[in-house]
Amino acid sequence: MSYMNSVPRAWRERVTKYRLIGGRCKKCGKVFYPYRGSCPRCGSDDVERIELPKRGRVKYFTVVRSAPAEFKRYEPYVVALVELENGAIVPAQLTDVDADEVYEGMEVEGVLRRYREQGEDGIIEYGVKFRPVVGGGGEQ
Amino acid sequence: MGKVLLAGVGATPIGEHWEKSLRDLMVDASLNALRDAGVEKKNVDAIFVGNMSSGYLQGQEHLGSLLATWLGIPGVAAHKVEAACASGGAAVHDAFMAVKSGLYDCVLAVGVEKMTDASTDQLTSALIMADDQEYTAFAGFSFVALNALVYRAYMDKYGAKQEDIALFAVHDHEHAVHNPLAQYRRAVTLDAVLSSPLVADPLHLLECAPTGDGAAALLLCSEEKAKELGLKPEVEVAASALATDVLSLHDRDDLTTLNATLRAAERAYKIARVEPKNVDVAEVHDAFTVLGVIHLEDLGFAKKGEGWKLVKEGEIEAGGKIPVNMMGGLKARGHPVGATGVYEVYDAALQLLGRAGKNQVEGAEVALAQNVGGVGGTVAVTILRRVR
Amino acid sequence: MNGIASIIGYGAYLPRYRIKAAEIARVYGRNPSSTPIKEKTVPGLDEDSLTHAYEAALNALRRAEIDPSEIEVVFVGSESPPYAVKPSATIIAEALGITPKLYAVDMEFACRAGTTALLSAVGLVHAGLARYGLAIGTDTAQGRPGDALEYTAAAGAAAFIVSKPRSDAVATIEAAYSYVTDTPDFWRREGQRFPRHGARFTGEPAYFAHIIGAAKGLMEETGLKPSDFRYVVFHQPNVKFPTRVAKRLGFTKEQLERGLLSGIIGNTYAAASPIGLVNVLDAAEPGDRILIVSFGSGAGSDAISLVVEDGITERRPKAPLLSSYIERSKEIDYALYLRFRGFICR
Ligand SMILES: [Zn+2]
């Protein structure tokens, strides 16, 4: 599929995906991911671009046991809606954790990992996944 | 403005049509609808083809001209309509608008999907295109996974139990037994549903609509055209409404209600001048058991958080408060995604035409069909009424 | 501050998974009680040397407490980059928010690339060509299934952020001495998936000659002697080599043990001696002197002498200690190991 093997598509999204660039609505306060020019809750165009915190909690999760073709090699894996410290909700994979260890409310932190690969000889698409917090330190 | 009349309905059986192509299916369904109406194809002046994934699954787009060509009526206005799994409902909506506006008099609304040309993992890739490719699909979500999150949210919020919600699948299968077009004409037990393999926890395989091939078609006519052709349709399309919501779950404040259903239903009820209590039979888009339950609430048949009670207490059976999915629903009739919205209207029409056989709801006057695209990014609601 | 440059942030990363050497021995019918190490780290399915490097660098940034955009140099030393052509450094820099006003490049010198990256960053900062430099050693090393290397080839990363000498730093580099000859003890030809090695040739003429050459060279130039150092860290392809070279150079077990981790994490190649240094910094006190000597096949060694600064006490708790990563471990069997390393064709 051409969309899967598009270098410009992946390139254009890199900063948003590597650093979690989201938006904050100045009218209703909603914080969201990814950034766009209008608020998904109230429709206001008064939105600022922010880098989202990479810590949060698992809000809802599920285990993908029948994956799309490009994720087949990771099966089974956990995907979740992660609620970040500032309330933004990010759809992401969890990593470094077994499915039976995950629970709603689990504290997680963002790490850079591989998501998709454009075939064996194509580019690798990296992005933020979340995993259980390591160690005690590390305020950002 | 005059009534929009439902002059004829047609469909193919849903299943694994190894010997039939995408175009065969939509041609068959269209001819069935024309035959049902007793209308010659040369009278058709517009076609709307609802389809989700022909570009990905068949490498084929431009279905409007393709169908016109293979039906042998090139020249008509025709194009494809896409709104993920609500493509069929959107095609019906466009056909309704076309006739209602007076621009066209005799219109085919067709829904088609040919899913078995692809492998399971390719299909999984195709279906997640209903959500945000760049953020949701990128993260490895399958479409089932998104609905699994809705399931968790619903059980968390309302304390509903899976064994009550999963009854929806049992209900659908029971009714598909008597539907000659259904993909799975056999009953299943709750035990079988809950012991089937997990696809995306907590969703079991038998709580998810199957994949299959199929096409359905409706012939919509203006009152003048019906008179001209000497037709006496018994059913009118009283309303068709369509609404959207933010595409993805992570943008929503509440996962347990589909805002697009609320909006589309409100409009449709208003246009048809009916209320939920006037609906005699409904077809809801239960691609997953929990979605069926949520739709009962969002369409106004149950209080929020109590949709599962209707199912458990037998209120969605014939003779109940609101008979639902009497021909097997998405779960057992089948869910050829882009065709489903048209199948739903087809099944609703059978009830008003008194052609539902053993699944007939006696005396049905008003029927509703709700078709959902993605996880509620689009919802189309159609209301049919017997012509008085 | 006397010195060439300071380290103001340091950090490491180890993947979650472990395989016991005895498990590998079991599969190949060898004696499970005479393996070169106890267990080694294994990267997860979605990891590579670049993602390892990112997290080590993030930990270093947390301790450095600087705006990432002030970093003007990124060097990534690795022999297992995800791309043969296309730098890892650019992706890491972009992900960390490091400015495009940037001198970034990948480096390869087998297991020596981590310290080489560090010294290269030190050189640019010392020369005043960059304000801050980030140097990373990272690897997800591969041994051919069944090869002796397979027992030890492990994964991990360590990163350091370098500034002009300052007392609120973690440590200050006071001297460095590099020792390089053409010695083909281990190599991987272009297009080959696995490296080859010279078996016993990797010992005396390679590992020992270069480490001893660099360490002695540094001590001769600076006038320092083994007893001047509180800690010593050597490249650690196993446990035996660093233990033996420490003894031959006159260092004690006490000086060596804090920085010797190969027995429980394996040989992390370009990250091996840097991770040893990280574990030392996790325990060191202001004023402690540390000697680190890397070794990379081909062959060369960098010897670096550092003195711990007052800033360490405040900076250390700002990121997880290496012990957090060591404790975070999940044992896998050989079959799962093969799957994780991509050795099972599907
Ligand atoms: Zn807002």
Distance (Å, whole) CA C286 – CA C307: 8
Distance (Å, whole) CA C122 – CA C124: 6
Query: Cα angle at B4 between B1 and B8, to 5 degrees?
Result: 160
Q: DSSP for B301-321, please give it.
A: SS-TT-HHHHHHTTTTSTTSS
Cα–Cα nearest to C304, from C174, C122, C179: C174
Q: List the beta strands (DSSP E) in B162-279.
A: 198-200, 203-204, 214-222, 235-244
Asked whether the beta carbons of B11 and B343 are under 8 A apart, the reply is: yes
Q: Percent of chain B having pLDDT more than 70?
A: 100
Torsion of CA C325, C327, C328, C333, to 10 degrees: 120
Per-residue pLDDT at B368 exceeds 90: yes
pLDDT in tens, B81-93: 999 999 999 999 9
Asked whether the beta carbons of B338 and B113 are under 8 A apart, the reply is: yes
pLDDT of residue A135: 83
Per-residue pLDDT at A138 exceeds 70: no
pLDDT per residue rounded down to tens, chain C (346 residues): 579 999 999 999 999 999 999 999 999 999 999 899 999 999 999 999 999 999 999 999 999 999 999 999 999 999 999 999 999 999 999 999 998 999 999 999 999 999 999 999 999 999 999 999 999 999 999 889 999 999 999 999 999 999 999 999 999 999 999 999 999 999 999 989 899 999 899 999 999 999 999 999 999 999 999 999 999 999 999 999 999 999 999 999 999 999 999 999 999 999 999 999 999 999 999 999 999 999 999 999 999 999 999 999 999 999 999 999 999 999 999 999 999 998 887 5
Segment B276-288 mean pLDDT: 98
Distance (Å, whole) CA B316 – CA B319: 8
More confident residue, B358 or A140: B358
The domain that holds C100 is classified in CATH as 3.40.47.10
Whether C322 and C271 map to the same domain: the answer is no
ipTM of the complex: 0.95
Number of neighbouring beta carbons within 10 Å of residue B278: 14
Distance (Å, whole) CA B276 – CA B278: 5
Q: Are the Cβ atoms of A115 and B140 closer than 8 angstroms?
A: yes
Arch. (CATH architecture) of A1-52? Single Sheet (2.20)
Query: Phi, psi at residue A137, to the nearest 5°?
Result: -75, -165
Whether C12 and C160 map to the same domain: the answer is yes
> Given CB atoms, is B103 within the 8 Å cutoff of chain A?
no
pLDDT in tens, A100-125: 999 999 999 999 999 999 998 999 99
Domains: count for chain C: 2
* pLDDT-derived band at A139, boundaries 50, 70, 90: very low
pLDDT in tens, B153-176: 999 999 999 999 999 999 999 999
Nearest CB to A114: which of C46, C62, C325?
C46
For chain B, domain boundaries? 4-119+211-236, 140-210+238-386
Q: Is the peptide bond before A34 cis (omega within 30 degrees of 0)?
A: yes
> Given CB atoms, is A112 within the 8 Å cutoff of chain C?
yes
Structural domain of C219: 171-313
Q: From chain A, which residues contact B within 8 Å (Cβ)?
A: 1, 3, 9, 13, 17, 32-34, 40-41, 60-72, 74, 77, 79, 81, 89-93, 99, 104, 115-116, 125, 127
Give the CATH number of domain B140-210+238-386: 3.40.47.10
Asked whether the beta carbons of C96 and C68 are under 8 A apart, the reply is: yes
Q: What's the fold here for domain A53-140?
A: OB fold (Dihydrolipoamide Acetyltransferase, E2P) (2.40.50)
User: Is C246 among the domain residues?
Assistant: yes
User: What radius of gyration, in Å, describes the C-alpha atoms of chain B?
Assistant: 19
Å from C308 to nearest chain A CA? 21
Q: Mean pLDDT lowest for which of B1-5, B348-352, C269-273?
A: B1-5
Distance (Å, whole) CA B384 – CA B160: 32
Distance (Å, whole) CA B367 – CA B372: 17
> Given CB atoms, is B195 within the 8 Å cutoff of chain A?
no
Mapping DSSP to helix (H, G, I), strand (E, B) and coil, where does residue C62 land? helix
Whether C106 and C230 map to the same domain: the answer is no
Of chain A residues 21-50, which have a CB less than 8 A from chain C? none
Asked whether the beta carbons of B241 and B267 are under 8 A apart, the reply is: yes
Whether C12 and C85 map to the same domain: the answer is yes
> Given CB atoms, is B33 within the 8 Å cutoff of chain A?
no
Mean pLDDT, chain B, rounded, equals: 97
Residue reference for tokens 């290397």:
C149
pLDDT of residue C142: 86
Chains that touch C (3 or more CB pairs under 8 A): A
pLDDT of residue C342: 87
Q: Are the Cβ atoms of A62 and B145 closer than 8 angstroms?
A: yes
Token couple for B265: 């239903």
Q: What is the pTM of this model?
A: 0.96
Mean pLDDT, chain A, rounded, equals: 94
Q: At what angle do helices C49-64 and C88-96 cross, to 10 degrees?
A: 40
Contacts of C227 (CB under 8 A, 6+ apart): none
Contacts of C66 in chain A (CB under 8 A): none
3-state SS, B311-376, equals HHCCCCCCCCCCCECCCCHHHHHCCCHHHHHHHHHHHHHHHHHCCCHHHCCCCCCEEEEEEEECCC
Catalytic residue among B85, B106, B208, B221: B85
Q: What's the fold here for domain B4-119+211-236?
A: Peroxisomal Thiolase; Chain A, domain 1 (3.40.47)
